[in-house]
């Protein structure tokens, strides 16, 4: 299944049916009076979160969702049939944006959530509604209200507890594959990962969900490389794990590049709790490990975990640190104040 996290769709609710102008025509009922029925109500357009979806790929093949219009009223006081509604079935974590791609209409984060996107028009009144003591035979009826037509954007932000960030080939996919049942593509060239991956990570009998996004490079916030289009998937994460390639020439500069791109994308994302890990230490000797760890700690100003996703060294410790940070972020826990970078 292909991954798609952004889709533009056109929706239109149904118009209301027109009211009917009709009179009683029975042979033995003199001055029968009006009996025109009301028009039916137009169908609505809804969005609903369903289980089992993790992409918006369905909206690549269908971009138009039009609800049915209501049926017109009929004689003998009969009301027209209501139009059928349309439901857009979306995965958990979908944001619905207005046409400007900035105004958030709804943020759907739980299975079963529903939101009304376009309300159907009311049906028009038949002439029976206009009968009065001074107007015994009204010959007018209302037209139904028109439906609402609009264009909206659907943007998927995956629901994950922890997110991976780093330069291409920092070892993010290898880390995810080593700690979960996810099987992302792994290769020795940049941008092997072309779309986000999710994995369920287990540690000490507990589990959390981790998201791996394509690597960032300097200038990603300006559209270089794959750009920052996938950073939305870590907006919901409680903690970020920033991996730095231990075999890089300047590990401190690698950290600064990602830190700058996160801040350029969103200050809120940059201020999320972050754990720093120096990866691929299996390729370093003791002297190189100490040198690069010291340089990285001096740049980021916090402790650095030494790990190897290939050999497994240090992996348990960093997973426990992630789990502890996730626990601390839960609303049921006491708030220990804003996190300081």
| pLDDT by position in tens, the chain (length 341) | 467 788 999 999 999 999 999 998 888 887 788 999 999 999 999 999 998 887 888 898 899 999 999 999 999 999 999 999 999 999 988 999 999 988 999 999 899 999 999 999 999 999 999 999 889 889 999 999 999 999 999 988 877 888 888 888 888 888 888 888 766 666 555 555 566 777 888 888 888 888 887 767 665 555 555 556 677 777 888 888 998 988 888 989 988 988 888 888 888 888 888 999 999 998 888 999 999 999 999 999 889 999 998 888 989 999 999 999 888 877 654 444 444 44
Residues whose CB falls within 8 Å of the CB of residue 89, separated by 6 or more in sequence, listed in order: 48, 50, 53, 58
Residue 308 known to bind ligand: yes
**Residue 131 vs residues 32, 63, 128: alpha-carbon distances, Å:** 12, 45, 6
Q: Are 167 and 254 in contact (CB under 8 A)?
A: yes
Residue 180 known to bind ligand: no
pLDDT score of 168: 83
Residue 170 known to bind ligand: yes
Residue 167 known to bind ligand: yes
pLDDT score of 184: 60
Residue 280 known to bind ligand: yes
Residue 133 known to bind ligand: no
CA-CA distance, 168 to 190, in Å (whole number)? Answer: 5
Q: Are 42 and 147 in contact (CB under 8 A)?
A: yes
pLDDT score of 163: 85
Residue 97 known to bind ligand: no
- Condensed to tens digits (0 to 9), the pLDDT of residues 203-228 reads 888 888 888 877 676 655 555 555 56
Residue 146 known to bind ligand: no
CA-CA distance, 15 to 120, in Å (whole number)? Answer: 6
The DSSP call for residue 212 is E
DSSP per position, 88-113 = EEE-TTEEEE-TTS-SEEEEE-STT-
Q: Are 328 and 339 in contact (CB under 8 A)?
A: no
pLDDT score of 341: 41
Residue 282 known to bind ligand: yes
CA-CA distance, 110 to 188, in Å (whole number)? Answer: 38
pTM over 0.75: no
Residue 324 known to bind ligand: no
What mean pLDDT is reported for the chain? Answer: 85
Residue 34 known to bind ligand: no
pLDDT score of 338: 44
Residue 181 known to bind ligand: no
Residue 19 known to bind ligand: no
CA-CA distance, 144 to 220, in Å (whole number)? Answer: 51
Backbone phi and psi for residue 203, each to the nearest 5 degrees, phi listed first: -150, 125
Residue 103 known to bind ligand: no
Residue 73 known to bind ligand: no
CA-CA distance, 154 to 97, in Å (whole number)? Answer: 6
Residue 27 known to bind ligand: no
Hey, what domains does the chain have and what are their CATH numbers?
A: 1-156 (2.70.210.12), 162-329 (3.40.50.300)
Sign of CA dihedral 88, 89, 91, 92: positive
pLDDT score of 200: 83
**Residue 134 vs residues 77, 127, 304, 317: alpha-carbon distances, Å:** 21, 14, 87, 86
Overall size of the chain counted in residues: 341
Residue 79 known to bind ligand: no
Name the helix (H) or strand (E) containing 323: helix 315-329
């Amino acid at each position: 299944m292909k991954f798609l996290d952004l889709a533009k769709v056109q929706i239109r609710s149904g118009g209301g049916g027109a009211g009917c102008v009709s009179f009683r025509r029975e042979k033995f009922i003199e001055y029968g009076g009006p009996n025109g029925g009301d028009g039916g109500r137009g169908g609505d357009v809804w969005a609903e979160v369903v289980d089992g979806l993790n992409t918006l790929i369905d909206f690549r093949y269908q971009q138009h969702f039009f609800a049915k219009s209501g049926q017109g009223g009929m004689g003998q006081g009969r009301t027209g049939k209501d139009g059928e509604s349309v439901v857009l079935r979306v995965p958990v974590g979908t944001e619905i944006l207005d046409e400007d791609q900035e105004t958030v209409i709804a943020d759907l984060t739980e299975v079963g959530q529903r939101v009304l996107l376009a309300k159907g028009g009311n049906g028009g009144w038949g002439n029976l509604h206009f009968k009065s003591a001074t107007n015994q035979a009204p010959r007018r009826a209302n037209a139904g209200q028109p439906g609402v037509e609009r264009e909206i954007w659907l943007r998927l932000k995956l629901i994950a507890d922890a997110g991976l960030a780093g330069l291409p080939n920092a070892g993010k996919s290898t880390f995810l594959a080593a700690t979960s049942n996810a099987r992302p593509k792994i290769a020795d060239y940049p941008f092997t990962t072309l779309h986000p991956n999710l994995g369920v990570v287990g540690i000490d009998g507990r589990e959390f969900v981790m998201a791996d996004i394509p690597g960032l490079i300097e200038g990603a916030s300006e559209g270089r490389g794959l750009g920052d289009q996938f950073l939305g998937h870590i907006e919901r994460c409680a903690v970020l794990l920033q991996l730095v390639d231990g075999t890089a020439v300047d590990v401190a500069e690698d950290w600064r590049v990602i830190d700058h791109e996160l801040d350029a994308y969103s200050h809120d994302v940059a201020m999320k709790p972050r754990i720093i890990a120096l990866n691929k230490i299996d390729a370093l000797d003791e002297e190189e490990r100490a040198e690069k760890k010291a340089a990285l700690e001096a740049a980021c100003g916090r402790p650095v975990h030494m790990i190897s996703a290939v050999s497994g060294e240090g992996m348990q410790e960093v997973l426990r640190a992630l789990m502890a940070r996730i626990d601390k972020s839960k609303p049921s826990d006491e708030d220990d104040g804003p996190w300081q970078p």
